[in-house]
Amino acid sequence: MAVGTVLVAGGTGYIGSFTALALLENGYHVVVMDNLYNSSEVALDRIELICGKRPAFHKGDVTVEADCDKVFKAHPEIDSVIHFAALKAVGESGEIPLEYYRTNVGGTIALLRSMERHNVSNVVFSSSATVYGDATRFENMIPIPEHCPIGPTNTYGRTKAMVEDVIRDQVEAQRNNLKKAGKPFEHWNAALLRYFNPCGAHPSGIMGEDPQGVPYNLLPLLGKVATGEREKLLVFGTDYPSRDGTAIRDYIHVMDLANGHLVALNYLRDNKPGVRAWNLGSGRGSTVFEIINAFSNVVGKELPYQVVERRQGDVLDLTANPALANKELEWMTKISMEKACEDLWRWVSNNPKGYRQDPPAELLKE
Ligand code: NAD
Ligand code: WQD
């Protein structure tokens, strides 16, 4: 029996599609809404190939309230929303800030307004470790706990920090209004999930990240170097005060991350806690050179790179302290960064055109 029905906004994208899969595998019904700006419906075929179930799909734009209303009207059984739909390129966010505020902040407000009209009161939001900015500006804040002060250093990060505030205010206002109306137990509940660096692919090799444009994250770029699509990786700075001079990040397998959404949603439904923020990271930091080595080991050859200047806006260390999620959600990462490299390589080497080609037959037999 289904435990509930979840609207996954942005559910054909990278993290959304893996979360839709995890929800289906754990008894939820899933409705996906996406405008396919950075994804394709083929992701739903792959979900079905893996688990035998397919989410319902509505092409729609979260910034358009009528699109959101249409989905809630078509599925009155939806009781929760997981909201992934957003623009996410840090560099681009500084070039077209209005688009980022419109989509990320405006889109969330439209979705929340529509949720309110349809009495849906659980929301899980894709926030980002970027909201912390440079946590090394404080003493004892690495690894980063949730109480580290927020201080994003780029437009994208500011949209995420703003949405966190919008959601907090909405939950608080709802709670006060319901108290006045004598219905204190029907209040909204929200999880603000601050992801560190998502990576990896499904171990089957048939589902992974397939952005519409050029990738800019470290591991997808290394994938392109390994397949020969790119000549070399540019390493952004070797003058950081780290063990090898390169910057440190907390790489988390997308399946661990998807599972984090599942347990956060279960927690909201069971505990009705109001608003909670949780870091979703492993607690283990890896340098750029460590990632290059781990991925080279998987590929079985040295991957060419060239050291260049630091990238503007990059910080030394974004490693999570995941103790709160470990304790409250009983969640922790189970898949190593090395396994994420293996899974990523299986995905990119077998599907050079991503979802624009059928998966190799031998992978489907396994
Ligand atoms: P993604 O681009 O693969 O997925 C986002 C999805 O939202 C895409 O399918 C896109 O088509 C859709 N979308 C965009 N604008 C929309 C709109 N107006 N209406 C409907 N759909 C829309 O990105 P992802 O990596 O899966 O990220 C998912 C979420 O997690 C985003 O909110 C992102 O900001 C956040 N996040 C991502 C990372 C990361 O490194 N991937 C890290 C932290 C947080
Ligand atoms: C990782 C490390 C780079 C590319 C971003 C967003 C964050 C989140 C995840 C959305 C850094 C180095 C990278 C390259 C390199 N996304 N690098 N050469 O910057 O940690 O985080 O994506 O929410 O919000 O800010 O990820 O993969 O771009 O970089 O040397 O060509 O790899 O300097 O140290 P980042 P990334």
pLDDT digits (tens, 9 = 90+) for 16-30: 999 999 999 999 999
**Residue 88 Cα: closest atom of ligand 2:** 10
Share of the chain above pLDDT 90, in %: 93
- Ligand closest to Cα of 199 equals 1
Give the pocket of ligand 1 (CB within 6 Å): 10, 12-16, 34-39, 61-63, 84-86, 88, 103, 107, 126, 128, 195, 198
Nearest ligand to residue 280 Cα: 1
Q: Which atom of ligand 2 lies closest to the CA of 217?
A: 27
In whole angstroms, give the CA distance from residue 4 to residue 218: 36
156 in active site = yes
Which residue has its alpha carbon closest to ligand 1 atom 30?
126
Q: Dump pLDDT digits (tens) for 128-137.
A: 999 999 999 9
Which of 234, 209, 231 minimizes the C-alpha distance to 220? 209
Strands 189-195 and 197-199: unpaired
Q: What is the per-residue pLDDT for 186?
A: 79
ipTM: 0.99
pLDDT tens by residue, 250-308: 999 999 999 999 999 999 999 999 999 999 999 999 999 999 999 999 999 999 999 99
Largest CA distance in the chain: 66
- Using the predicted structure, report yes or no on whether residue 188 has a pLDDT greater than 70: yes
Is 192 in contact with 125 (CB distance < 8 Å)?
yes
Taking CA atoms only, the protein residue closest to ligand 2 atom 28 is 217
Work out the percent of the chain whose per-residue pLDDT is above 70.
99
Whole-angstrom CA distances from 214 to 75, 89, 220 are 35, 10, 9
Q: Is 305 in the pocket of ligand 2 (CB under 6 A)?
A: no
Specify the residue with its C-alpha closest to ligand 2, atom 26. Answer: 217
Catalytic position from the list 14, 132, 156, 195: 156
Question: Is residue 355 packed enough to be buried (19+ CB in 10 Å), middle (13-18) or exposed (0-12)?
Answer: buried
| Average pLDDT of the residues in 45-65 | 98
Centre of ligand 1 to C-alpha 127, Å, is 10
**What is the Å distance from ligand 2's center to 332 Cα?**
22
- Taking only the tens place, the pLDDT of each residue in 150-178 is 999 999 999 999 999 999 999 999 988 88
Strands 305-308 vs 233-236: parallel, antiparallel or unpaired: parallel
User: What is the model's pLDDT at position 296?
Assistant: 98
d(CA 355, CA 202): 13
| pTM score, whole prediction | 0.98
DSSP-assigned letters across all residues of 88-149 = --HHHHHHSHHHHIIIIIIHHHHHHHHHHHTT--EEEEEEEGGGG--GGGSTT-SSBPTTSP
56-88, pLDDT tens digit by residue?
999 999 999 999 999 999 999 999 999 999 999
Rounded distance from Cα 218 to ligand 2 centre (Å): 6
User: What are the backbone angles phi and psi of residue 142, rounded to the nearest 5°?
Assistant: -120, 125
The pLDDT of 91-102, averaged and rounded, is 97
What are the angstrom distances between the C-alpha of 322 and each of 93, 182, 365? 28, 37, 37
Cis peptide leading into residue 152 (ω within 30°): no
Does 221 contact ligand 2 (Cβ within 6 A)? yes
Which residues have C-beta within 8 Å of that of residue 36, sequence separation ≥ 6? 12, 59
Mutate to test the pocket of ligand 1, among 7, 8, 34 (most ligand atoms within 8 A of CB): 34
